[in-house]
Amino acid sequence: MTRPILAFVSGIAAVFASAAQAQGVPEDPYMTSVGSWQQQHPDSWWADQVGLGNGPQSAWRQLPADAAPVTVAVIDSGLDWNHLDIAYDNLWKNPGEIPDNGIDDDGNGYIDDVIGWNFLDDSNKPWDHDGHGTFVTGQIAATWNNGAGVAGINLHARIMVLRALNTFGNTRASYVARAIVYAADNGARIINLSVGGPGLTEVEREALRYATEKGVLIVVAAGNDGKPVEGFGLASAEQVITVGAAGIDGLRAPFSNYGPAVDLIAPGVDILSLRARRTDTLRDIPGADYTPGGAYVGADRRYYRASGTSFAAPIVTGIASLLLSRDPGLNAQQVRQILLASARDVGAPGIDQFSGYGMVDAAAAFSTSPDSLIDATITGVSVISGETGAAVAVAGTASSGQFEEAWLEIGDGENPTDWSNRVGLTQPVVAGELGRIPAAAFRGSQVWILRLVVRGRNGQQREARFRLALGS
């Protein structure tokens, strides 16, 4: 009789210990399964890529079970709130609004807005007729450990459901702008905008500025056109975090828009999430090579898989919300700096136009302080004549809140392995002259790569490269 009692006692102790400490990792079936649609990779392959997943380093294991709730606005096509993997507890509730009395109790201009608003129909029922918004919401906030389907990135997320999209990407700028303002006015800490389209209207620009000034972090999908992101309104706005998509190889997916506005990449290929009832999102994309029903997953067809930057952005949003759940005192700028500073460099060394600062990483973000963001940028060169002869003056930014050192150096050819003519910087430089390299150093090759390396006191470093072609 002794042994079962001992086992019972230690079981109680274990329950208390886990409740007082970490929340642990989700055990929902699709979080550990592989090949549910005959593919080689895990069904939720993205999690390990971004410092989540089941491993010992997972950021999920580092979060206390009593972490703070965070309001996340999802401006999208709405939500199937009857989905078995969406809990009412994971939705934002307007605290000042009495439901169904026909009165705008909190005086925010919207009658009976309890979980959000439907800007298309001007109603308080942001139901999802498309599936896109339910998918995105599931990525951030699907129910944990209910024995079904997937788990969202943050079990402490509270989703504000703002319907501003009709079908995939179709909306009016005014709906999006009103939804952004609503989110900012009603307490959202983060806005997820998996919304694309060319141009940025003045009303959208104003809404973004308004929300940013109110301290809201805005995360935007880069778009799926394989083009420079600069032509795409919301994604190229200055105040936002712009997210490109990565494939299973961890590199930028070919369809993901690129350019200097891209800040981060996150997994965005063959992502599994929720399917809203009676929807088939991919069917609505013009010109897509898609067999209706082909993306359904599960015997009950309540799950769905899809690719796109629309599904990369919510991963960054979810991780940003984890940072706020752990430390609600962080402001939007600090969360942004942590996410960029802790990103895992991928693709070309340093910050690059295809993947920005790199792959978002929740585990690294949890051990990064906001002032450790390192900026390494070369914006241009000019030839000047100084007292000691002609020199190449290099302009750009080399900075960090924890600046240790930085240097410029050059290497010949397109892919140098040897670097020379090192010029050190002892002070940070923001949008100014980084240093000068004697013109005589550029002999013997037509093509040179200028490299700027900035190192922080924590040992992290970033680099930027600049290609210099002579005589052309």
Name the residues annotated as catalytic: 76, 132, 310
355 neighbors 174 (Cβ within 8 angstroms)? no
- DSSP single-letter state for residue 426: S
Decide: is 284 part of the binding site for Ca ion (CB under 5 A): no
In the complex, the smallest distance separating the C-beta of residue 103 from Ca ion, rounded to whole angstroms, is: 5
Residue range at the interface with Ca ion (CB under 5 A); choices 22-30, 216-224, 281-289, 395-403:
22-30
Decide: is 263 part of the binding site for Ca ion (CB under 5 A): no
SS3 content of the chain, % helix, strand, coil (to 5): 25, 30, 45
Cβ neighbors of 172 (< 8 A, separation 6 or more) are: none
Binding mask 329-348 for Ca ion (x = CB under 5 A): ----------------x-x-
Binding mask 143-162 for Ca ion (x = CB under 5 A): x--x-xx-------------
Of the two residues 26 and 196, which places its CB atom closer to Ca ion in the complex? 26
Q: Which of 28, 128, 204, 409 binds Ca ion (CB under 5 A)?
A: 28
In the complex, the smallest distance separating the C-beta of residue 377 from Ca ion, rounded to whole angstroms, is: 13
Binding mask 180-199 for Ca ion (x = CB under 5 A): --------------------
Is the Cα dihedral 305, 310, 316, 317 positive or negative? Answer: negative
Decide: is 412 part of the binding site for Ca ion (CB under 5 A): no
- Burial class of residue 393 in the structure, from the number of CB atoms within 10 Å of its CB (0-12 exposed, 13-18 middle, 19+ buried): middle
Residue range at the interface with Ca ion (CB under 5 A); choices 189-197, 350-358, 367-375, 387-395:
350-358
Decide: is 127 part of the binding site for Ca ion (CB under 5 A): no
Pairing state of beta strands 116-118 and 271-274?
Answer: unpaired
CA–CA gap between residue 273 and residue 131 (Å, rounded): 10
Find the binding residues for Ca ion in span 65-124 (CB under 5 A): 85, 97-98, 101, 103-106, 108, 110, 112-113
Count of residues interacting with Ca ion (CB under 5 A): 20
In the complex, the smallest distance separating the C-beta of residue 189 from Ca ion, rounded to whole angstroms, is: 20
CA–CA gap between residue 203 and residue 342 (Å, rounded): 33
- Spell out a b/e string for 356-386, using b for 16 or more CB atoms within 10 Å of the CB, else e: bbbbbbbbbbbebebebbbbbbbeebeeeee
Of the two residues 347 and 411, which places its CB atom closer to Ca ion in the complex? 347
In the complex, the smallest distance separating the C-beta of residue 284 from Ca ion, rounded to whole angstroms, is: 26
Nearest to residue 185, comparing CAs of 214, 157, 156?
Answer: 214
Q: Which residues bind Ca ion (CB under 5 A)?
A: 28, 85, 97-98, 101, 103-106, 108, 110, 112-113, 143, 146, 148-149, 345, 347, 352
